[in-house]
Structure 1
Amino acid sequence: MPTIAGKINCTPLMLAAQICALLGFACYAVTLTTLQAQWDLSNFESGLIASAFFFGYILVVPLATVLTDRVDARKIYLFGGLSGVTGLLGMGLFANGFYSAFFFMALNGAGLAGTYMPGLKVLSDRVQYGEVTRHISFYTAFFGIGAGLSYLISGWILEALGWEAVFEWIALGPLTALLIVWLLIPALDKPEWRGPLRIQVGDVFPIQKWKMVLQNKEASGYIFGYTAHSLELFASRSWLVAFFVFCTAYTGEAFFLAATTLAGVINFFGVPASILGNEMAIKIGRQNWICFVMLTSAILGIALAAATGQGWWVIALLATGHSIFIMADSATLTAGLVTSAQPQIKGAAMGLHSLMGFGGGLLGPAIFGFVLDLSGSQESQSAWVWAYFSIVIWGVLFVLFERRNGWSSRKPKSPTNS
């Protein structure tokens, strides 16, 4: 079907689609305790259902992104939107226990795999003017808006209509994203996309292309940095509410907002942090900015955990600062990868970037919880310090390793096209 758009600015449309596609991101997190009680799930089973989202993402993202080197990424996006809609509707209409929920959450994660990085390729293929990294930084930063709205809207629906309605109504999000890209984003036709499309096993895990990506020292640095960044980010998002609850119990002083609301509000600070962080990186050099941000984030993470027992405003301020600096290099890492990867393997590079990033996201919450149990459980202040240490140390190690091995600190180029 032809699009109804001609020559238009695709960036605002892709930002809107990004928000809509991400509305299913936190549905399960919001409904977890309700489903755990209703289905009599163990904590391990509940955690596995949450992990199913990332399992589905990791399973699909290599193929989805590599295919963007061979077809218009817009086509991949449409399949991703359909998968997200199916997964969310399946959860609301058919899920009745562990196995069905695991399946439908994996479909939901596969939907994100088909929309997030392919959506970035849709955008980068169509940007023909200005500093391309600015468009990329807005796109990646809007992940925070979509995720934050997912927490808030899912919570409102749960309170008003019940857990089934959360998934059923939120399914309108990826459906809207699909329609935006289908109807409003112009199709492209490049010579390298013509001819028959043959999918082989090597397309799913393109080892040779990934080796070529990793041989590029600059590109591989951004990928490993994104892995450390994602590990800290997703661990922090997973445990921040529990940390606020512990702080309230420890001091007996309630926060000015509910723990879930405060965590959601703090999440929004990542949006300007990511955008402005990329602007700083353009001025002082991407690698210099990334190293500064990761070290500062580590300091703030430890300070946050050590501040237990202080007033609520101290905790809230440090949590906001930590969130800001976690996100301050997000767009820079992705933009750096996009602009440093060779054009003929850019899709494979983006696939590896996303795969390792969400792999870090899978590990982060588990590492945090393991260290928390190992060092004294949730009732111990020192345990929280060690748990935060266990997730921020990866960024520090990354900085030390890359600086020692000569990761370039030169000022980045400012191309007008990717």
Structure 2
Amino acid sequence: MSILKGNTPWMLLAQVGALLGFAAYAVTLTTLQREWGLSNFESGLIASAFFVGYIAVVPFATALTDQMDARRIYMIGSLFAITGQLGMGFVASGFISACACMMVSGAGLAATYMPGLKILSDRLIQGEITRHISFYTAFFGVGTGLSYVISGWVLSMGDWHSVYRWVALGPTTSLLIVLAFIRPTRHSHWQEKITIDWRNIFPIRKWQQVLQNRNASGYILGYTVHSLELFASRSWLVAFFILSTQLSGEQFILAATTLAGVINFFGVPASILGNELALKVGRQKWVCIVMITSAIFGVTLAYSMGHASWLILMLAIGHAIFIMADSATLTAGLVTSADEKLKGAAMGLHSLMGFGGGLLGPAIFGFVLDLTGSQSDRVSWIWAYASIVVWGLLFVIYERRKGWVQ
């Protein structure tokens, strides 16, 4: 199997390391909320700060992949991620400092995730690229799943500071992998001249050309609403499990952090198999089916709070599966539909818009929790989940009217 050869296994392993700190805040959210006296909205804003850093850097990082070997950008991004996570572990002491550290961590992911995909695409034969992309995007779930498990394990052994200090080893490992095992391309000399201007950082004209492509613009908008729901759910899932246990008095079979990690692993085969199914039924039709089903699972999951643990577990798994079942499809669809000369800019816009949704999601969720009652009120959680899944339904309605679905 070609996926097991060449650079792909190394990049999959590197991505897992780069994402090891991704769920650290979700795991420590309730602890920090209590220690720092944060509201739900403030807690959501700290999670959103991660995506502010991502959005600030991703246009610059991805645009430069059209001018230089993405390997170089990846290594710099790893250094940002290490700095942000160590900052949380050693420096953060409240809302402002936590936001700053999370933004640096988000900048690190911006310079590793899509540049990592560009590392692969620059070194692959065009005919085999989509399956490699599906594995790469699916391994986002492996990395985030391990992040929940490891962060929860460290938290149970020590304090929240230790969580961030240990997960910083993840991007450190990624840096070493790319440095040692990914060969440079011909555009790899550090002394080569790089043109940097606002047109590279925010290539508006190229983005306009990308959006004129009806297929590409649909995949980008779909990825935006997908990410809004995905990252809001991941940011608040541990808190959901903790509150559900308190309301029902019934313990889950695993600790809340471990359970969230295990559930995230279901997204890996869901993303890979989803891409295969999309090739059979049509990418656009598959995306719409998945978004409708995910919305149903999300609201039903919220309604189940305080009920039997097995019911909550099954619904949470179902939501995790369908929230990820269109992830690889959306990214692969964008890569294959974008013009070859605009591919770097298209991937940058795709990532920018997607993580823009990720920025809004956690904050919207926390804001609705505060607005509709309290964190201990099941009705508030229903409204909060509804506030993040509704965008997928609106996307389906909009795209069907525009004729995107064939």
TM-score (norm 2): 0.91
Is residue 20 of structure 1 aligned with residue 17 of structure 2? yes
Does the 8 Å contact 2:30/2:239 carry over to 1? no
Partner of 1:86: 83
Residues 1-400 of structure 1 mapped to structure 2, 5 A cutoff? 9-36=6-33, 45-128=42-125, 131-189=128-186, 196-308=193-305, 310-400=307-397
Does the 8 Å contact 1:82/1:111 carry over to 2? yes
Ranges in structure 1 where 5+ consecutive residues have no aligned partner:
1-7, 410-418
Q: Secondary structure at the match of 1:79?
A: helix
Q: CA deviation at 1:63?
A: 0.5
Partner of 1:413: none
Q: CA deviation at 1:309?
A: 5.4
Cα 1:153–1:99 change in 2 (3 A) is same
Does the 8 Å contact 2:152/2:258 carry over to 1? no
Q: Quick one: percent identity of the two aligned structures?
A: 68
Does the 8 Å contact 2:40/2:370 carry over to 1? no
Give the counterpart letter for 2:323 in structure 1.
I
Q: CA deviation at 1:71?
A: 1.1
CA distance in 2, matches of 1:256, 1:335: 36
1:230-286 deviation digits (Å, cap 9, x = unpaired): 111112122223333443344433322233322221111111100110111112211
Does the 8 Å contact 1:218/1:408 carry over to 2? no
Does the 8 Å contact 1:69/1:344 carry over to 2? no
CA distance in 1, matches of 2:308, 2:37: 37
1:26-68 deviation digits (Å, cap 9, x = unpaired): 2233334444555566665554433322111111001101111
Q: CA deviation at 1:173?
A: 1.1
Give the counterpart letter for 1:228 in structure 2.
V
Q: CA deviation at 1:340?
A: 0.8
Give the counterpart letter for 1:320 in structure 2.
I
CA distance in 2, matches of 1:316, 1:49: 27
Deviating more after overlay: 204-213 vs 364-373: 364-373
Deviating more after overlay: 33-42 vs 76-85: 33-42
Ranges in structure 2 where 5+ consecutive residues have no aligned partner:
none
Deviating more after overlay: 248-257 vs 342-351: 248-257
Q: CA deviation at 1:370?
A: 2.9
Cα 1:276–1:364 change in 2 (3 A) is same
Give the counterpart letter for 2:70 in structure 1.
A
Cα 1:311–1:103 change in 2 (3 A) is closer
State the superposition RMSD in angstroms.
2.4
CA distance in 2, matches of 1:265, 1:154: 13
Does the 8 Å contact 1:241/1:263 carry over to 2? yes
Cα 1:385–1:160 change in 2 (3 A) is closer
Cα 1:77–1:389 change in 2 (3 A) is same
Give the counterpart letter for 1:302 in structure 2.
V
Cα 1:287–1:386 change in 2 (3 A) is same
Partner of 1:4: none
Partner of 1:404: 401
CA distance in 2, matches of 1:32, 1:387: 17
CA distance in 2, matches of 1:249, 1:93: 31
Q: CA deviation at 1:131?
A: 2.9
Give the counterpart letter for 2:310 in structure 1.
W
Deviating more after overlay: 166-175 vs 53-62: 166-175
Give the counterpart letter for 1:282 in structure 2.
L
Does the 8 Å contact 2:75/2:175 carry over to 1? yes
Q: CA deviation at 1:96?
A: 4.2
1:317-351 deviation digits (Å, cap 9, x = unpaired): 11111110000000110111111111111111111
Q: CA deviation at 1:100?
A: 3.7
Q: CA deviation at 1:302?
A: 2.4
Cα 1:314–1:401 change in 2 (3 A) is same
Q: Secondary structure at the match of 1:178?
A: helix
TM-score (norm 1): 0.89
Give the counterpart letter for 1:346 in structure 2.
K
Cα 1:42–1:120 change in 2 (3 A) is same
Does the 8 Å contact 2:48/2:358 carry over to 1? no
CA distance in 1, matches of 2:236, 2:161: 25
Does the 8 Å contact 2:294/2:323 carry over to 1? yes
Give the counterpart letter for 1:11 in structure 2.
T
Would you say how many aligned residue pairs link Structure 1 and Structure 2?
401
Cα 1:97–1:237 change in 2 (3 A) is closer
Cα 1:132–1:363 change in 2 (3 A) is same
